[in-house]
Amino acid sequence: MSIILTFLSILIFSMLAGFLGSLTGLGGGTVLVPILTLYLGIPIIYATGSSLISTIATSSGSASAYVKERITSVRIGISLEIATTAGSIVGSLTVAYIYSLRLQYLVYIIFGIVLLFSIYPTLKKMKGEFPTPKPPDWTTKALNLYGEYFDPANNTTVKYWGVRWWLGLIVMFFAGFISGLLGIGSGALKVIGMDYAMNLPMKVTTTTSNFMIGVTAATGSGIYWALGYIQPFLAAPTAIGVLMGSLIGTRVLVRMKNKRIRAVFLIILGFLGVQMILRGLGVL
Amino acid sequence: MEVEDVISYSLIVGVVASILLIIIGVVLIFVHDGAQGFTLEQIGNVHSFINTSTTTPEKVVQGVQKLDGLSFVYLGLIVLIATPIIRVILLIGDFLKNRDLLYTILSLIVLINILIAIFIVPDYIIK
């Protein structure tokens, strides 16, 4: 295949990944890495490197809007980023060690498992109910982890207090670890940390998760850069494509009410997850 | 202007600037049929040996002045990675201004983690 065709196919597949990623709320990387490795024959090291880069573009692009609308909690974001960035360093070094032992198949299997586990929080998010408020504990009081935002769908101002910051911090370390390990934003894990552990409203959770992904991915990409996991000619079309795809996805999402369509995307996720595991096991 | 607005603008400016640099770089690579002394085939191969470990910041700066495509792509990637870091620095400034000691320290820890990943780990652990 000629180089221009390769370039364009990566661009189009990246747009598709960004589109699917924003519809499911998982971000581009989770869909991008399976597509690049399974269908375009790109080595997993370069696929994860490009994915991590594209994650920064989409996170910064959409965080810009959410921060402006004051839905994102900047304080909750910063207080948890101390764990996501530390986790990312450990994750990036772990994957470097895995590659140095030539155990690439392990990365495929872990990626597949993470994909399959990502389906559950995505399903839950479709319901989008408000959490039952819980009284703040000493950790969230000390850190002032409260806030409010305007919800135009219900035409009300939602006030909230976080709980169990320490538990959120532990989950965030793992989210950062997975981000560094697999080159994804690991938004699903970040959502679990804030939704289940800290009892925050879904809108705050998803936008703050998105806000944190940029910093987490920037940390990982520092190490990825030095290790040479980023191939500029692959990172270029993926960054542009995923960003464009996610912008389109966000527009479509606003109008899309049919939950069955989203269920189809979840089936795609499951399909990709199983394929990654099979590839890791040497079946595919 | 509140810090949220400043952050919002800096994020969008960073993303747009980096995407523009990357696009310019890709166009230049195709126009020059290669970059940084490599052929288009070497650069475009999905198994290419050319990656971020085969360049240096000096090469990128020199290349950009010579309208070298690969250097423009690298510069775009650097701007993209720098965007969230600048966001952290902006927040440190804002917490300092509001005399919020706890959050100044928390955001400093985040910045230190990033700087460790970019400068300390590559120099002392990987090499």
In the stretch 67-126 of chain A, residues with CB closer than 8 A to chain B read: 67-68, 70, 74-75, 78-79, 81-82, 85-86, 88-89, 92-93, 96
B56 contact A CB<8A: no
- Distance of alpha carbon A222 from alpha carbon A115, whole angstroms: 24
Q: Which pLDDT belongs to residue A150? A: 86
Residue B30 pLDDT > 80: yes
pLDDT in tens, A43-52: 999 999 999 9
Q: Which pLDDT belongs to residue A27? A: 74
Please check whether residue A206 is in contact with residue A45, taking contact to mean a CB–CB distance below 8 angstroms.
Answer: no
Check A218 against B81: CB less than 8 A apart. yes
pLDDT in tens, A65-98: 889 888 899 999 999 999 999 999 999 999 999 9
Which one of A57, A218, A224 has the shortest CB-CB distance to B85? A218
Best mutation site among A231, A234, A244, A247 for testing chain B: the one with the most B CBs within 10 Å? A231
Domain ranges, ordered by start, for chain B: 3-126
Nearest to B122 by CA among A102, A222, A50: A222
Q: Can you name the residues that pair with A160 across neighbouring β-strands?
A: A147
Q: Which pLDDT belongs to residue A249? A: 83
Which one of B14, B41, B106 has the shortest CB-CB distance to A78? B106
Nearest to A27 by CA among A284, A216, A222: A216
Segment A210-229 shows an average pLDDT of: 95
**What percentage of chain A has pLDDT greater than the value 70?**
93
A-B C-beta contacts closer than 8 Å? 191
Segment B92-112 shows an average pLDDT of: 96
Which pLDDT band holds residue B52 (cuts at 50, 70, 90)? very high
Query: Which residues 6+ apart lie within 8 Å of B24 measured at CB?
Result: B69, B72, B76
Count of alpha carbons within 13 angstroms of residue B119, beta-carbon side: 5
Please check whether residue A177 is in contact with residue A94, taking contact to mean a CB–CB distance below 8 angstroms.
Answer: yes
In the stretch 23-52 of chain B, residues with CB closer than 8 A to chain A read: 23, 25-26, 29-30, 40-41, 43-44, 46-48, 50-52
Which pLDDT band holds residue A216 (cuts at 50, 70, 90)? very high
Residue A127 pLDDT > 70: no
Higher pLDDT, A161 or A260: A161
B108 contact A CB<8A: no
Residue A128 pLDDT > 60: no
**What percentage of chain B has pLDDT greater than the value 70?**
98
pLDDT in tens, A136-151: 999 999 999 999 988 8
User: A80: distance to nearest CA of chain B, Å?
Assistant: 9
